Amino acid sequence: MAQIISPPLYERISIKNPIHRTLDVAVLFLLSSLLVYRLYSLDKHGFAWFLALLCESWFTFIWFLTANAKWNPVKYKTYPEHLSQRVEEFLPAVDMFVTTADPLLEPPIITMNTVLSLLAVDYPVHKLACYVSDDGCSPLTYYSLVETSKFAQLWVPFCKKYNIQVRAPFRYFSNESMISARNSLEFQQEWKMLKDEYEKFSRKIQDAAGKSVPWDLNDDLAVFSNIDRRNHPSIIKVIWENKKGLSDGLPHLVYISREKRLKHAHHYKAGAMNVLTRVSGLVTNAPFMLNVDCDMYVNDPQVVRRAMCFLLGSSNEREFAFVQFPQVFYDELKDDPFGSTLAVVYEYMGRGIAGLQGPFYGGTGCFHRRKVIYGLCPDDVGTEKNNATPVSSDKELLNIFGNSMEFIKSAAQALQGKTTSPRNLSNLVETEYQVAGCGYEYGTAWGTEVGWQYGSTTEDVLTGLMIHSRGWRSAYCTPEPPAFLGCSPSSGPTLLTQQKRWATGLVEILVCRKSPIVTAITAKLQFRQCLVYLFILTWGLRSIPELCYMLLPAYCIISNSNFLPKFNEPPIYGYIALIIVYSLYTILEYLQTGLSIRAWWNKQKMARVITTSAWLIGVLSVVLKILGISETVFEVTQKDQLNDNDSDSNVCKFTFDESPLFIPGTTILLIELAALIMGFFSGGLLQSQIGEILCSILVVMFFWLFFKGLFRKDKYGIPLPTICKSVVLASSFVYFCKWLSLD
CA-CA distance, 427 to 421, in Å (whole number)? 13
460 labelled catalytic:
yes
Q: Who's near 385: CB < 8 A, 6+ residues apart? A: none
Sheet with strand 297-298: strands edge to edge: 297-298, 484-486, 328-329
Neighbours of 57 (CB within 10 A): 16
Q: Who's near 597: CB < 8 A, 6+ residues apart? A: 587, 590, 591
135 labelled catalytic:
yes
Q: Give how far Cα 528 sits from Cα of 67, 75, 327, 648, Å.
A: 11, 18, 24, 43
Burial letters 453-489, b for 16+ CB under 10 A, else e: bbbbbbbbbbbbbbbbbbbbbbbbbbbeebbbbbbbb
Q: Give how far Cα 324 sits from Cα of 321, 372, 450, 626, Å.
A: 10, 15, 19, 32
Q: Who's near 615: CB < 8 A, 6+ residues apart? A: 499, 500, 503, 539, 540, 542, 543
CA-CA distance, 173 to 171, in Å (whole number)? 6
Q: Is 156 helix (H, G, I), strand (E, B) or coil?
A: helix
- Positive or negative: CA dihedral 454, 459, 464, 469: negative
Residue 379 corresponds to which amino acid? D
Q: Is 100 helix (H, G, I), strand (E, B) or coil?
A: strand
CA-CA distance, 502 to 537, in Å (whole number)? 10
Beta strand residue intervals within 325-424, DSSP E: 328-329, 366-369
Which residue in the list 24, 102, 293, 460 is annotated as catalytic?
A: 460
CA-CA distance, 666 to 657, in Å (whole number)? 12
Beta bridge partners of 76: 12
DSSP 8-state symbol, 481: S
For helices 572-592 and 18-40, the axis angle rounded to 10 degrees is 160
Which residue in the list 24, 135, 295, 336 is annotated as catalytic?
A: 135
Residue positions annotated with a catalytic role: 135, 460
